[in-house]
Structure 1
Amino acid sequence: MAEGSGIVVDQGRWEWSEMWKKEDWWAIWIGFFILVAGMLVYFPHSGDMKGIIDKAQAEYGEAAQRTSAIKTIAWYKLSDGKKKAEARKVSTGKWLASFTHKTHSWSNNPLDAFFMDKEKVQAKVDAAKVKYEKKKAVEVAAFAQAKVAESLAEASGFKDESLNATATNAINTWRDAKLIAGNAKKKTKAKPYNQIFNLIGLGIFFCFLFGIPMIFMGQSFQKFAVAFIFVYGMTVVAWFFSYQVTMKHYGIGYAAWAIFLGMLVSNTVGTPKWAKPAIQTEYYIKTGLVLLGAKILFEKIITIGTAGIFVAWVVTPTVWLITYWFGQKIVGMPSKRLNAVICSDMSVCGVSAAIAAASACRAKKEELTLAVGLSLVFTAIMMIVMPAVIKSTFPVDKQMILGGAWMGGTIDASGAVAAAGAFLGEKALYVAATIKMIQNVLIGVIAFFLALYFTTRVEVEET
């Protein structure tokens, strides 16, 4: 901010010390540390992983390429074969998966979320085996029907759209049955567990992972560590409720419970002062986004395809222009700068875009504050409402991709996009976050054209 002027000004100053004093950089360093740790687990077994992929390719590769008209049985089997090449299936990976496991599913006894003895596990396994046999029989029958339908489509050279559609539906039915049978099979392999010590160990690990950087950022590690007990405890409680069988059935996940618990505490007893040093929302979200971005990479962007690029890079400036026109011509906003900041805020990525736009068009501090306030209010509402609307109105097969893309292109803040995507599911989270990340690239572009427009047109008119 320019002192005494009330105008938002980008100082454009950077120092090397920011690399260890700013949370943005520490989010990158923490993400990098976790990625390197993951590589250390993966690379010693990369040869084995490649062998698994090569085996799947040799067995199903040629058959999977017979046609591009539909996704054949061989295509899915090739995909399934490649998915077996996971570092979490080696010994170290299995230990990490166990150590980082959250609470377990539970129905009537809350203690089942944390530990279960051998006798009780065996009773569950015996019951699960009976259910699995039934699910497996359904899968086998569905697979037989899928093979018949695919054979008929193949006999026509995959040129008969009706036969292709029938084959696709039959294969999708088989895939659904296979997924259900696979989940049932996992329950037959249940083992006794005591997650309490793992949860405590995981909490200590995260406390040091996020707490040590606080020292470099000029904060007290001791105060952070004490406060982190509260934050981590709330996290465990959110996971605990989300893993209740009924809650899982209705899709009420950890994100919903975390928001509910946070609102409950802040609006009743209030957030304890001693807990505030660890309530570093953006710090945690930024670290998560670094890891999410590393997981998505360019492959996921390609998977989303031209539709995703269109949503991010064509719809965004179109929304900006229409909204700006609406604000000036229909609403009659007296301040073009306020209008521009609000448009940038709502069409790109919330607060970050608002700050960049305010600096580019030399908006007043009060105008930036108003735009940010509007963004926060509508972000909080849309983060809850949009997943519910998608769940209730979108076709089931469109919820993850189209629903995720809609949220990624509509909700302002990146963190809120990730949270809203998590309400729908993991795939929706990836799609929504990817759209938002692609969209965020436009911050600089819009700021540049705003500066150009206000310098050459608006300021000339004002003088």
Structure 2
Amino acid sequence: MIHTDTNASVSGKVPMLKNEDWWAVWLGLFIFVLGLGPIFGADLLGWVVKVTTWTDISKSFGPMSKAYKETMSGPASLFLTYLFMLVLTTIGAKAMGASVKRFAIGFTTIFVITILCMIVGENAYIAASPDKQAKLGISWSMGLGEMGFIIAMIVGLVIGNFFPKVANYLEEAAKPEWFIKTGIVILGAAIGVKTLGALGLASTVIIRGICAVVEAYLIYWPVVYFISRKYFKFTPEWAAPLASGISICGVSAAIATGGAIRSRPIVPVILSAVIIVFVAVEMLILPWLGQTFLYEEPMVAGAWMGLAVKSDGGAVASGAITDSMIRAKALKETGVKYEEGWMLMAATTTKVFIDIFIGVWAFILAIIWSVFKLNEKGGKSSAGERGRVSASEIWDRFPKFVIGFALTFILLLIWGLNDPGIVKAAKTGTDHANGFRTLFFALCFFSIGLITNVRKLWDAGMGRIVAVYTICLFGFILWVGLFISWIFYHGILPPIVG
């Protein structure tokens, strides 16, 4: 079975051209720059393929941009996206010492399998959220958004554990940390645009949203970390990404934290699989609870969705469902007709500031792990050893992708604040660039499965992970989030129609 130390390329003083972290930054920034095209009137990435939720498989993928959809077929978009990513990653792989031929063949195989997994995962009966069922013409769905990632990981596990010769050949192109870190650099721009959009919303909601997020996560993270370490005996390598995944923003936070503290790449991916399942459960339960008990406090219900549901898509979908359900019940029970969209706005705004917190927290944890040198067994350096940590050592150990994430976020935020006229075009461009982020994430999940020994996966404590998540989520996170939402949004009502 394959065992790859994907952190080896970023540990210690590695030349920049052979450093996986720096290549993640460069590729991410290059895609980010191309994504700025619409600001200058040029759609440079609208051709990137997007896999969409489907009932007719012939319509399962196509170009992201409406303009390109008129002139480019889905297969052409897919091939162009593949070629673009192949060229970029091959350049980086060659610089880092990989065999070009073997990498290209491996990447091609991984890309094709991953796309097929994403298409299967976006089947309407698997992926559609409840608010999209009517539009898609279906009466039920599992509501498992991003299930394509999990299918990709499962297929990777099957190949890695049952077809070792194939896995060994593909290993040259299985670069999970490189893929995920590149995706996170691109993600920074998308969050920057979200922030600009939030600044145009009602100031009361924004201010209260910021306060609610800070209050919640100063409580959530340390408590989850403590429970994981004290009662379930997880090492810091597992406890920190688990705490971030439950506390901050699900998949992205778990992955960013794993990179910041130099955990093995399998750690955040296993956590991500658990998170996605729990998001589906939350989407079924929380909107119903909001309608039943909070129809007289609609903004509290909206903010609660943003604080509680641990994925962007899940939180926004839950906010939309809650908005619709509460407006219907309020009209029936009290005769009050609330203006549409305000509960969704509360959920979305809260989620935006949670996303921003990902980069802040990853930066903080990277410094802590560098200075205290927390190891896999849970120990840490002595006071004397900590005193000898130099600034250069912290820099060598610091994950450079965090810099790329912060750079794309800050550049767009400052630009948009100084020139609000670019925001709409910037959103279009970052949406297109974010298409690559989704693909890099999916490639990471498949690659993790490919290099993982499934017996060690269970030995790592999957049952304990589910137990920690269940206890923390249903034991206090949901209810603390509800209490904080009540503190900041109690008594604030949406505008009334008529």
Which has a greater percent of helix? 1
Length-normalised TM-score, structure 1: 0.50
Higher-Rg structure is: 1
Length-normalised TM-score, structure 2: 0.47
Higher relative contact order (CA 8 A, sep 6+): 2
